[in-house]
Structure formats: structure tokens, C-alpha cells
Chains A and B, each alone.
Chain A
């Protein structure tokens, strides 16, 4: 049993590790950030020769390595610095999360007149954490499977575009690490690309980007409940009581954040020496590199063509608006 399951996952994991090694070596040759190269390598392989069936189960583990890396990254977080800016950061995260949700809902319904349920999937996907948020709210929204597919394809497209564009814009504007990290954490879409773009900019920017993004992610439960209640009311109250519960909230909650908080707590309590923190840092950098090869293989350019022009324009308008406003606000507060 164990041997069979290990044999199922091992080849794909070996591909991820080999890809990470290639990205590492290539980065020393061509002088491009190894995280970006890892994602690029995955994209090139998946969209040229394709990913073989024997590797798929192992490649799908990339999110586990990303989340484990984020848990370990807790050791590097400057908790004192984080606590000193907690209120401003929280206001920015919550403010822009609410603004993004409302913006996408309003633009989707009133400007582009796309179906309410598709608009809600895009709003949750863009505002919180991409595909995970779409999946989390889809049952409450009672979306059709093709609407979920549209929303997922749209969000993945913007993940790819922002991952390439954000570090370039950050360098062009010569943004301080903290500003770039918080800006990426507030206005980019899914967790993987936010972490990749942040660390591609600088280690400090990566840490700020991840913390800010985790701040957004924890609201997924609240947003899923709000949508479920809203759509239950629209359907005459059916299922309304079953969704407004702690259980529903807990089911949606990203539990790996608890691991991140635990490790950050251990590190800030002074239980780890500098050498141990450095060891954990090497550990999460390695895990990120492996995870980003897998993230690249999950970006299917052909699949993105499935998205319609209207959902694309809805998210584009939200991205441009939120990106500009949040950059201004972040520079004002942290610049």
C-alpha cells in the first residue's frame, strides 16, 4: 500500500526536484532570479512537451511544498516589526479586500452584465486567494461548473501576467522592499505567485508579501459565509442555517497559517539560534524552489483561452484600479 502510493507520487516529486536543480544552476549562468526561472521552466515544459501522466500525482504536490515552506518561513518573520505596523497593515488588507470584492461585483453586474454567480466567483477569486477562494465559495454561490471553469481560467491568466509584471514594475519604480511586498500581497491574486514575485524581488519583500497575503487568506471563511447566506436568501432561505456556522468557517480556513504562526511564535520567543533560523531559511527557500517548478507546470496557456473576454475585462479593470490605489496607499503609509 505504502510502496504503491509512494511509487505513484515519487516520479513527479523527482521531476520537481530536478527542475529546481536546473533552475538553480541556470540562474548562476544567466543571472536571472532562480524562482522566476523555476516557474518559467515549469511553464515551458508543461506547454511544449507536456507533463507525462506518470508525473502528474507528484507534480500536484507543489501546493503542499509551498504551504510547508510558508510554515517554515515563520522563523524569519520579524514579529516585532510586524506588530509595530499591524494596525496600518490590517486596515490596508481589510480595506482593499472589501473594495476589491465590491468593485468586481459592481463592474461585473453593471458594466459588463455578466451573470451574478460568475461575477461573485471572480470577486472572491480576485479579492482573496485565487482558485482556492473560487472553490471555497462555489458551493455557497451554487455556481455552474462552466462558470467555475471560466473563473479559474481567468484568475490563472492574471496569476501568470502579474507574476511576470510585478517584479519588473517594482524595479522600474525602485520600490522599497516593504512597499513592494505589501503592494504585491494586497493586489496580486493567488498565494503562490505572490510569494514567488515577492522573493524574486528580495528576501525581505518576499516575507512582507507572504505575511500580507496570509492576512488576506484568513478572510476566506468570512467571505464564503457571506456569499452562501446571500445566495441562500436569493433562493428563499434554503440552506441558510447550515452555512452560517463556525464549522463552515473552520472548513474554509487556511489551517497552514496556524503552523506559520506557531513557528513565528517559537522564533520570536528566542528558542531558535541564528544558525537554526538560517537552516530553516535554507529549508523554505528549497521548498519554494521545488514548489514553483510545479506552479509553472500548472499554468496551461491553452487552457487560459477558455476564458471569455468579459470576465477577463472585469478582473483587468479591478487589477489596474486596486493595483494603482494600493500602491499609492502603501507608499503613503510605508514608503
Chain B
């Protein structure tokens, strides 16, 4: 067997890339809501 089965070592899509893709596809209004809520959360938590 010279050709080893490498399918179980295949790397899936990078979750960071997936998250970034979803962010890029988001409507600008929702991005503003998320960014604003994030800043608010940071201020509340810190």
C-alpha cells in the first residue's frame, strides 16, 4: 500500500474564516448593532 488514505486527516474549514465570512455577508445595520453591543458589553464588564 503505497497510497495511504489521508481522508481522516483532512482539515475542515477554519472556524475563524467561517466567522469572518458570516461577518462579511452581514447587513451593515446588523454589524453596527453587534459592534455597539460589543462595546457596551466591554464597558459593562470591565
Q: Which residue of the partner chain A has the closest CB to B31? A: A64
List which B15-46 residues lie within 8 A (CB) of chain A: 16-17, 20-21, 24, 27-33, 35-37, 39-40, 43-44
Residue numbers in B under 8 Å from A68 (CB-CB):
31-32, 35-36, 39
Task: State the 8 A-B residue pairs at the shortest beta-carbon distance, nearest first.
Answer: A71-B36, A67-B32, A259-B33, A255-B29, A256-B32, A256-B29, A68-B32, A68-B35
Cβ–Cβ contact A64 & B40, under 8 A? no
In whole angstroms, what is the CA distance A64 to B27 when docked? 10
Which of B17, B21, B24, B37 has the largest count of A CB atoms less than 10 A from its CB?
Answer: B37
Known: A2-B17, A71-B35, A255-B33. A280 touches B40 (CB 8 A): yes
Q: A255-B29, A263-B37, A263-B40 are in contact. List 9 more A-B contacts (CB 8 A).
A: A2-B16, A2-B17, A67-B29, A254-B29, A255-B33, A260-B36, A262-B37, A279-B43, A280-B39
The answer to whether A35 has its CB under 8 Å from any CB of chain B is no
Distance in angstroms from B24 CB to nearest chain A CB is 7
Q: Pick the contact of B43 from A67, A262, A276 — CB < 8 Å?
A: A276
Q: Which residue of the partner chain A has the closest CB to B19? A: A2
In whole angstroms, what is the CA distance A1 to B33 when docked? 24
The answer to whether A266 has its CB under 8 Å from any CB of chain B is yes
List which A1-46 residues lie within 8 A (CB) of chain B: 1-2, 5
Which of B14, B21, B40 has the largest count of A CB atoms less than 10 A from its CB?
Answer: B40
Cβ–Cβ contact A67 & B17, under 8 A? no
15 chain-A/chain-B pairs, Cβ below 8 angstroms: A1-B17, A5-B24, A64-B35, A67-B28, A68-B32, A68-B39, A71-B32, A71-B36, A72-B39, A256-B32, A262-B40, A263-B40, A279-B43, A280-B39, A283-B39
Residue numbers in A under 8 Å from B39 (CB-CB):
68, 72, 280, 283
Residue numbers in A under 8 Å from B29 (CB-CB):
67, 254-256
Cβ–Cβ contact A64 & B44, under 8 A? no
- Give A residues with C-beta under 8 Å from B: 1-2, 5, 63-64, 67-68, 70-72, 74-75, 254-256, 258-260, 262-263, 266, 271-272, 276, 279-280, 283
Distance in angstroms from A177 CB to nearest chain B CB is 24
Q: Which residue of the partner chain B has the closest CB to A276? A: B43
Cβ–Cβ contact B40 & A70, under 8 A? no
Distance in angstroms from A149 CB to nearest chain B CB is 22
In whole angstroms, what is the CA distance A255 to B33 when docked? 8
Residue numbers in B under 8 Å from A279 (CB-CB):
43
In whole angstroms, what is the CA distance A280 to B44 when docked? 10
In whole angstroms, what is the CA distance A179 to B39 when docked? 31
Residue numbers in B under 8 Å from A74 (CB-CB):
36
In whole angstroms, what is the CA distance A71 to B31 when docked? 11
Q: Pick the contact of B20 from A5, A266, A280 — CB < 8 Å?
A: A5
Cβ–Cβ contact B40 & A1, under 8 A? no
Q: Pick the contact of A255 from B17, B20, B30, B40 — CB < 8 Å?
A: B30
Cβ–Cβ contact B36 & A271, under 8 A? no
In whole angstroms, what is the CA distance A72 to B39 when docked? 8
Distance in angstroms from A298 CB to nearest chain B CB is 14
In whole angstroms, what is the CA distance A256 to B30 when docked? 6
Cβ–Cβ contact A259 & B20, under 8 A? no
Cβ–Cβ contact A72 & B36, under 8 A? yes
Q: Which residue of the partner chain A has the closest CB to B32? A: A67
Q: Which residue of the partner chain B has the closest CB to A73? A: B36
In whole angstroms, what is the CA distance A335 to B29 when docked? 34
